[in-house]
Structure 1
Amino acid sequence: MANIVWHTKLRIHLDLNQDDLGHAEHPGLWDMVYGMDRMYGDRGVPVADRDLQCGGVCRDAGVDAPMYLRLRANGRREAVHERREDEERHIVPVSDEHKAYQERILRAAVEGGFQGDSEVRTRVGRSWIQTDTLVEGADGLRIGWEVQLSSAGTEGPRSVRARAAKAEKNGITPAWHTDRSDYARRNDTQWTRSDNLPAYVIARTGDLRVVSGFRVLDFWRCDIHAVYACPDGVRRCDRFHATPKPRDVLFDDLVRRTAAGAIVPVQFRVGGTTHRFWITDTDRDRLEDLRSDDTHLPPVREPEVPAHASRNRPTCKPSLPAPSAAAPEAELPATRILAPAPPADTQTAPVQPLVVAHPALHPSGLPAELVELQQAADDARLQLEQLADHEERDQQRQVWLDVSEAVQAAVTRHARSQGLNRYDVEKRLRQVIRHPETQPGTPL
Structure 2
Amino acid sequence: MANGVWHTKYRIEINLSLPDLGHPDRPDLLGEITTSVADRDPGLLECLAHHEGRECLSETGGKSPWMFVRRGRVGGRRPLVASHLPVTHRATPAESEQHKATKERIVETASGYGLDARTEVATAHRRSVSDALVTGPGGIRIGWEIQYHHLGPSSVHRRSVTAMENRITPLWVTKDKTAALIDRAPWARVDDMPWREIAGGKEMVIRGGYRYLQVWKCVPSSPRHCPHTEGAGHCEQIHAEWFLPALCHPEKNPVHIEDLVLSSATGESVPVYVPNRGRGRAGRHMWVPAADCRIWRELTAQTASLPEAPPPEEDDVTTFAEQEIDRTCRAGDEGRHACDARPVRDLGQPAGGFTLGRLPTKRADRPMVITPVERAAAAAALGCPPWEVGPCSQCSQLMRRYGRDAAMTCDLCRIALNQGP
TM-score using structure 2 length: 0.50
Structure ranking higher on relative contact order (CA contacts 8 Å, 6+ apart):
2
Give the TM-score taking structure 1 as reference length.
0.47
Larger Rg: 1
